[in-house]
Amino acid sequence: MNGRSGFFKFFLFLFLGVIILLQFISILQAGRFCKRLNILVDRLKSSPLTPARPVEKPTAGKSSIFEEYPGDDGDWLVRSLDGEPATLAPFLEEAGWDTRWIVLYNIFETLIDYEWDDFKYRGVLAEEFSISDDGLEIYFKLRDDIHFSDGHPVTTDDVIFTFETVTDPNIDAASYANYFRDVDHYEKINDREIKFYMKRVYFLSLGFLGGLQIHPKHIYQYRNAREFNERRTNPVGSGPYVFEKWDVGRQVVLGRNENYWGPKPRIKKLVFSFITNTTAALQALMAGQVNYTRPLPDQYSEKCSDENFRENFYCLSYWDAWNTGYFWIGWNAARPFFADRKVRLAMTHLVDREAIRDHILRNPEAQIPTGQFYIYGPQNDPNIKPWPYDPERAKQLLDEAGWLDRDGDGIRDKNGTPFRFKYMISADLSLHEQIAKLVKDSAARAGIEIILDPYEWSVFTQKFLNRDFDALNMSWGGEVEQDPYQIWHSSQRKSGSNYVDFNNPEADYLMEQARQTLDPAQRNALYHKFHRILHEEQPYTFVYTRPEQRFLNKRFQNVIIHKLGINEREWYVPRSLQKYN
């Protein structure tokens, strides 16, 4: 009896010991983040992480919606989304990236789009398109074989309806309508041809008009705007998929449009599964519940270094002009700390962006941008190089700007004001918090006190819209070609997106001229000069831009990396590997 009791006590103590050890490890884990920040600041890179191994990339190939797709029919593509869309109506103010991923190109199609491997337009619903030499007339001729999923032909009446709906002031689409304010009027030539007349030259007019997501008039026609504004589901278009159902809180399901006017994709269903927790999304991928997901940087780095994982999943890393934006720290020039260019430049010199790339993002393919343009696009000047991490140069610039530690308290001051400011971040984004803590540590060693100021996203949004911040973390999405006017022109400081109060007359002039320059070479020369001004003035510290990263089950074939991203419509699953009927 005593022997059995002693044996039981031994294992009881052993079990308790394991529990205590796990608790101790958990405490160590909680402190690991702060230690890692110190490693970043001190640039101790003696043990670099193994770089994530990307999928073996095929040579970028040509593809068109008018070519027959290879492979077998069947199977579903089940994709995780980290949020549920507020609406499936792409024009409405509530529409976000999740809405776009679900409906654009799958349900709603445009008149034109970019080639997958070139920075030039191709026709989609339009077989011909042009812009006049003076830039004031834009012409489209529709294909004669296009129709909506119910068989109703697509005509210029649908184009006109879509345009008039977007620009109707009673429709909740003010942000989208802003892109069409330079249209003076249109002329319906016949059921297949239409011409738009512009009030003034704007280099993106062809792209914006050609990018209208055409809605069928016979389905969406409304008696009052409320009808359209309140229609958030059951979208109908001309695309290769049709809406099947929206299980609120769970998923949206699209089925292949068997009545599609063009070559049908091979995948029979697209399922968008709402999984807000990234760990749960990865677990769902591993369990086979989803087969396509967007991981966090640390998940990508860890899993793509695992040979067993790579046997079953692609580690896709690719540059995508539409999704590849940039992360930035904005310095509010309306506040006394950042009115001086020398101070803004000093702050950039205090941000160790290489360490952020290597140790926080853990993405060797990420790059440090020098401006807002897509780094592989023609608007970007590749000759401009990032400012280096240089704390000593930062201190020198701060001295020159008159920020000195006059009272010996360790904090620089000027005109009786200590260099102490609030750095606003979103409380919902751990990556932003990590970067902010790194900047805080680095600034402290230069005599600047940063107070981290986290807010829940809705409050954060309201504060930056009201310009109620000293500095903040944010990111902007990408486009193939961008118009920087709304973000940087001085006229946008109060009501536009110029949140940091940037005001430079030469930059204003360059942006105004570029908007009216149709010749790409001349326009890009103007944008290169504008790019140089941003680099010198540093209204933002441009922290990083990174390729898109995805995990995809290797059942899917013909996964091609194009110059402008991935065309999921090309994929198929061999019949022997198909999972869903």
Query: Residue 321: what pLDDT?
Result: 78
Instruction: Identify the residue with better confidence: 247 or 119.
Output: 247
**Is residue 270 domain-shared with residue 378, that is, in the same domain?**
no
Sequence-ordered list of residues with C-beta below 8 angstroms from that of 188, at least 6 positions apart, any chain? 156, 157, 160, 194
Instruction: Identify the residue with better confidence: 142 or 360.
Output: 142
Distance, in Å, from the CA atom of 155 to the CA atom of 144, rounded to the nearest integer, reads: 9
Distance, in Å, from the CA atom of 237 to the CA atom of 154, rounded to the nearest integer, reads: 10
Q: Is residue 36 part of a domain?
A: no
**Is residue 298 domain-shared with residue 159, that is, in the same domain?**
no
Pairing of strands 241-247, 193-198: unpaired
Which amino acid would we find at residue 573? V
User: Each residue of 454-493: pLDDT tens digit?
Assistant: 999 889 988 988 999 999 999 887 788 889 998 999 999 9
- Domain containing residue 133: CATH number: 3.90.76.10
Q: Is residue 6 part of a domain?
A: no
Name the least confident of 54-63, 340-349, 391-400, 448-457. Answer: 54-63
Distance, in Å, from the CA atom of 581 to the CA atom of 572, rounded to the nearest integer, reads: 14
* pLDDT above 60: residue 36: no
Mean pLDDT of 18-30: 38
Buried b (16+ CB within 10 A) or exposed e, 290-304: bbbbbbbbbbbbbbb
Q: Six-digit token pair at 356?
A: 């952020």
Please report, rounded to a whole number, the percentage of residues in the chain having pLDDT higher than 90: 71
CB 140 within 8 A of CB 212: no
* pLDDT above 50: residue 497: yes
User: How many domains is the chain built from?
Assistant: 3
Query: Residue 66: what pLDDT?
Result: 63
CB 274 within 8 A of CB 280: no
Strand order across the beta sheet in which 193-198 lies: 126-131, 137-142, 193-198, 183-188
User: Each residue of 304-324: pLDDT tens digit?
Assistant: 999 999 999 999 999 887 777
Q: Is residue 74 part of a domain?
A: no
Instruction: Identify the residue with better confidence: 72 or 31.
Output: 72
**Is residue 366 domain-shared with residue 507, that is, in the same domain?**
yes
**Is residue 376 domain-shared with residue 330, that is, in the same domain?**
yes
* pLDDT above 50: residue 434: yes
Query: Residue 479: what pLDDT?
Result: 81
93 band by pLDDT with thresholds 50, 70 and 90: confident
**Is residue 561 domain-shared with residue 429, that is, in the same domain?**
no
Buried b (16+ CB within 10 A) or exposed e, 146-171: bbbbeeebbbbebbebbbebbbeeeb
Name the least confident of 72-76, 336-340, 546-550. Answer: 546-550
* pLDDT above 90: residue 530: yes
* pLDDT above 80: residue 85: yes
Which residue in 338, 306, 386 sits closest to 503, CA to CA? 338
Instruction: Identify the residue with better confidence: 57 or 552.
Output: 552
65 band by pLDDT with thresholds 50, 70 and 90: low
Mean pLDDT of 267-293: 95
* pLDDT above 80: residue 289: yes
**Is residue 368 domain-shared with residue 428, that is, in the same domain?**
yes
Mean pLDDT of 427-435: 85
**Is residue 447 domain-shared with residue 532, that is, in the same domain?**
yes
**Is residue 344 domain-shared with residue 309, that is, in the same domain?**
no
Largest CA distance in the chain: 101
Distance, in Å, from the CA atom of 263 to the CA atom of 66, rounded to the nearest integer, reads: 6
Segments forming the whole domain that contains residue 334: 326-544
What's the mean pLDDT when you consider all of the chain?
87
- Domain containing residue 467: CATH number: 3.10.105.10
CB 238 within 8 A of CB 125: yes
Mean pLDDT of 444-449: 97
Sequence-ordered list of residues with C-beta below 8 angstroms from that of 413, at least 6 positions apart, any chain? 403, 404, 405, 406, 407, 419
12 band by pLDDT with thresholds 50, 70 and 90: very low
Distance, in Å, from the CA atom of 528 to the CA atom of 378, rounded to the nearest integer, reads: 9
151 band by pLDDT with thresholds 50, 70 and 90: very high
**Is residue 521 domain-shared with residue 563, that is, in the same domain?**
no
- For the whole model, what pTM was predicted? 0.78
